[in-house]
Copies of this chain bind each other. A is one copy, B any other.
Amino acid sequence: MTAMTWQAVQAEALRRIRTREWPPGARIPDEEDLARELGCARTTVNRALRDLADAGLLDRRRRAGTHVATTPVRKATFEIPIIRQDVEARGLVHGYTLLTRAMAPPDAATCRALALPGDVPLLRVVALHLAGGAPFCLEDRWINPVAAPGVEQADLSVTSANEWLVRHTAFSGGGIEFGAVAADAVQAAHLACAPGAALFEIVRTTWAGADPITAVRLTYAPGYRMKTAL
């Protein structure tokens, strides 16, 4: 009778939530009762419900019990694709062209994003990713050579800057932002679209403790959409 896995318990709980047998806001039976009812150990129930609470479907508080969340969808997890994989997953050939590579003082937005004074020169790398020969994504990256020693000597025309950094720097955290921007002249030229076209943009920053490593702005060709299932 060990047929009750935590997945089965979770599936049953999910069913009761979705069929509104346990309506939004309601308090559900406590772990011990559920364990008895479903014929398994309390730890198994705990595992099942804990995951549902992590997903935002349940609210659990000690002594107060477990309640069905009133706002069912609160979190979504996105796969942040490596561009090459993203392209290849579409059945297209990935291409990569290094456009710019120079030391320069960062622009104001990058300074803010990386919490750096404007007079420290950073390595700027601009590259274009192609999918099946067509422009796919423009990558505009600033790298802090202090946090990434050796990057000034690296050959980034073969290894992409992303791969080099993954292999050579210690990463401890960062941030990611999504937004929409109008194509400027440079973006329009490289992405083969009209200036002013609406482009999907991802900005990522990564840090090693308190030291900024890199900030990258990915601007996708028109029509790009990022999807996930709920």
Residues of chain A having any CB pair with chain B under 8 Å: 18-20, 24, 70-80, 82, 166-167, 170-182, 196-201, 204, 206, 222, 224-230
Contacts and interface: CB of A to CB of B under 8 A. Distances in A.
Contact of A224 (B73, B179, B199, B206): B179
A119 to B, nearest CB: 27
B74 A76 contact: no
B228 A175 contact: yes
B201 A180 contact: yes
A171 B57 CA distance: 12
B171 A72 contact: yes
B174 A230 contact: yes
Given A76-B80, A176-B229, A206-B230, 17 more contacts: A18-B170, A24-B166, A24-B167, A71-B82, A73-B80, A75-B77, A173-B230, A178-B200, A178-B226, A180-B180, A180-B181, A180-B201, A180-B222, A180-B224, A196-B196, A198-B199, A204-B230
Given A166-B70, A170-B18, A182-B198, A176 B75 contact: no
A159 to B, nearest CB: 13
Contacts of A222: 180
A202 to B, nearest CB: 9
A178 B176 CA distance: 14
Contact of A170 (B20, B175, B225): B20
A225 B74 contact: no
A168 to B, nearest CB: 9
A19 to B, nearest CB: 6
A12 to B, nearest CB: 14
